[in-house]
Structures are given as C-alpha cells and as structure tokens.
Amino acid sequence: MLVFGVDPGLTRCGVGIVEAKTSRQLSFVHVDVVRSDPGQSQDLRLLTIFEGLSRQMDEFSPDVVSIERVFAQENRNTVLGTAQAAGLAMLAAAQRGIPVALHTPTEAKLAVTGNGQAEKIQVERMVARILRLDRLPKPADAADALAQAICHALRPAGALQGGEREQHLTQAQRQWAQAQHANKHRSPVQRDM
C-alpha cells in the first residue's frame, strides 16, 4: 500500500510518501514540499498548491491520502491557509478516486514516537529511524508529512472495532489506538485540545 501523507500549509505544503508492506514494514518512497509565493494573490497561491499536489498524486498513484486534520490555532490566517490547503489535498484525491484519511497531529506523534506530545525533533528522529533514512527529513513540513503517512500505515487495522485488537501490535500502536478510541468518546469541544 502506498500512503501519500500531507502536512497542509499555504506557504509550504509537505508531501511524504511511504510504502507499507503486509508485515507492517515501511519503506521511504518520496518527500517534497510544495511551495507558494507569499507575494502572490491568495487564488494563485492555492492554484500552485493544488497543481503541485495533483502532479505528485498523478506521478505516484497512491492507494490512500493521509492529511493532517486541521484544528483551531491562535493565528486565524494560519488556520485559514492550512484548512484551504487540506481541502485542496482532499479535492485532488477525490478527483482521482483515492480514499482520504484525516489524522490529528497528536495521533501522528503518538504513532511515530509513542508520545502524543513529542517535540518536532523527536518526530523527525523517529521518522528517520522508522524509514531507515541517513539524515533527518527537512524541512519540518516534510517530516510532518512523512509522519502522517506513517501514522496511517501503522494504524491498527480493526483495533477499535468491537474492542478487538490485533495481538501483534507494538506498544506505540496500542497507545495510538487507545488515544483514538478515547478521542471518539469525548465531546467535539474536548477533541484536539
């Protein structure tokens, strides 16, 4: 399964692609950052992001697109641009008939490091370790996109259906499944706080 991870952003939109084998082994395929010029008008910046994402989806033909779920931040302009970029990734995937999954930053950190509150450097180091990279993925948007792809690839299949969990899950995967299960039972206001 080829997982196309997206760390949405209007100036820098991270793209990370990993291949997940049936044994849950992951291998690095591609990483990139689609950039738009902050000096351009909003519509042209959105077009640049959409075209960049579309081009890479066409090139790699992923099985699923995993996008960071947008949540409220203090800076409204940042949230707006991030939400628009996430919507463009969903649109590009929908046009190609590719399923979309949304994972919060906490879920991605938990899946990659075993700690939902991990620092960026911890995420970068674990991404490099999981994918057996010689160096840390840079910039941070690229590492976050790879973390999104890893998060989706390692999600426990069926772990939350009827409380059944696969017996061979790692400790980090069990914690991730428990956090996701707990998040489902919180009110919408409590989620992603």
Q: Is 58 a catalytic residue?
A: no
What is the predicted pLDDT for the residue at 156? 65
Was 37 annotated as part of a binding site?
no
Was 134 annotated as part of a binding site?
no
Category of 97 on φ-ψ map: left (φ > 0), alpha (ψ -120 to 50) or beta:
left
Closest among 14, 172, 156 to 106, alpha carbons compared: 172
Does the bond joining 139 to the residue before it have cis omega, within 30 degrees of 0? Answer: yes
Distance from CA of residue 108 to its chain's centroid?
7
Both tokens of residue 11?
């100036």
Both tokens of residue 135?
């160096």
Q: CA-CA distance, 39 to 18, in Å (whole number)? A: 32
- What average pLDDT does the segment 48-70 reach? 96
Q: Render pLDDT for 116-151 as a digit per residue (tens, 0 to 9).
A: 889 999 999 999 999 999 999 888 889 999 999 999
Q: Single out the catalytic residue among 68, 107, 124, 144.
A: 68
For the chain, the domains span 2-184
Of 5-9, 92-96, 171-175, least confident by mean pLDDT is 171-175
Neighbours of 149 (CB within 10 A): 35
The whole-model pTM stands at: 0.79
Q: Is 51 a catalytic residue?
A: no
Superfamily of domain covering 2-184: Ribonuclease H-like superfamily/Ribonuclease H (3.30.420.10)
Q: What are phi and psi of 6, to 5 degrees?
A: -130, 125
Q: Is 37 a catalytic residue?
A: no
Was 141 annotated as part of a binding site?
yes
| Secondary structure letter of residue 11 according to DSSP | S
Q: Is 54 helix (H, G, I), strand (E, B) or coil?
A: helix
